[in-house]
Amino acid sequence: MLIVAGMALMLVFTIGGKAARTGFDLGRRALASADNAVAQDEFRTLIDSLQLPPSGADPQSLGLRPFSGDARLLEANAVLARPGHCGPAGPAGVMRLSVVSGADGDALVCQVAFGDRVTVIDARPRRVRLEYSSDGSTWSEAWVPASAWGRPAASRTEQTIFIRLVSSDGRIDLTERATSGPPFLFPPPTPHATPGLGFPGPTLPGTTPPGAARP
């Protein structure tokens, strides 16, 4: 009788242990899913916050840094719509989103002018890259503007860039659109306007770097 009772208790403990482990696993998955949802929402919010000039406009005449992007880094002015990982709501100057690689995988890191680098998406153990498209169907690992700068204001058009973060195995695929909005939203171009605060950037063709003597 004691042997039967002991075997019954062992069976109860075994089932209870498995149920507890299952519960812990489900809890971990739920937390991971919630973290992923927050990270995805943050990525889309940051892309939506980018300040782009209209197509054909000289960014510097509008006080903006030219948008630049490749597989590992994008850089542009931003106005954060809400507080988040990258900083408080409001003008952020120039924002960088960069892919940082480690031995165990990649992470997407954000940094705004005068701010610290913070992780937006921890993609480990996967390898990720940034891609760009003007139509959302044809993608490239480097952004090339569709038109040259300096077109008359009347001929400028809204600029749209689709940006996505994608992993080599396809398990991560986040896409969001950045847009300049209609050209009439921008004030008249100001010659030699100073781009928003941020990181050292390239000198635009036909312009003089701030602080440099003109010929």
- Asked if residue 10 belongs to a domain, the reply is no
Asked if 146 and 161 count as a contact pair (C-beta separation under 8 A), the reply is no
How far apart CA 63 and CA 93 sit, in angstroms, is 10
- pLDDT tens-digit series, residues 97-107: 999 999 999 99
Number of folded domains that form the chain: 1
Nearest of 52, 69, 92, 85 to residue 196 by alpha carbon: 92
How far apart CA 190 and CA 200 sit, in angstroms, is 21
Instruction: Considering only residues 121 and 4, tell me which one the structure prediction assigns the higher pLDDT.
Output: 121
How far apart CA 129 and CA 141 sit, in angstroms, is 8
Asked if 100 and 125 count as a contact pair (C-beta separation under 8 A), the reply is no
- pLDDT tens-digit series, residues 22-53: 444 433 333 334 446 778 899 999 999 999 99
- Asked if residue 93 belongs to a domain, the reply is yes
- Asked if residue 162 belongs to a domain, the reply is yes
- Asked if residue 203 belongs to a domain, the reply is no
pLDDT exceeding 90 applies to what percent of the chain?
47
How far apart CA 101 and CA 128 sit, in angstroms, is 9
- pLDDT tens-digit series, residues 130-161: 999 999 999 999 998 765 555 555 578 899 99
DSSP codes of every residue in 101-160: EETTEEEEEEEETT---EEEEE-TTS-EEEEEESSSSS-BSB---SS-S---GGG-B--E
How far apart CA 183 and CA 55 sit, in angstroms, is 9
Q: How confident is the model at residue 15 (pLDDT cuts 50, 70, 90)?
A: low
**pLDDT value at position 213?**
46
pTM value surpassing 0.75: no
Mean of per-residue pLDDT scores for the chain: 78
Nearest of 149, 146, 150 to residue 162 by alpha carbon: 146
| Containing structural domain, residue 112 | 36-185
- Asked if residue 83 belongs to a domain, the reply is yes
Instruction: Considering only residues 1 and 74, tell me which one the structure prediction assigns the higher pLDDT.
Output: 74
Q: Which residues, 6+ apart, have CB-to-CB distance to 38 below 8 Å?
A: none
**pLDDT value at position 115?**
85
- pLDDT tens-digit series, residues 73-94: 999 999 998 888 888 999 999 9
- Asked if residue 196 belongs to a domain, the reply is no
- Asked if residue 174 belongs to a domain, the reply is yes
- Asked if residue 211 belongs to a domain, the reply is no
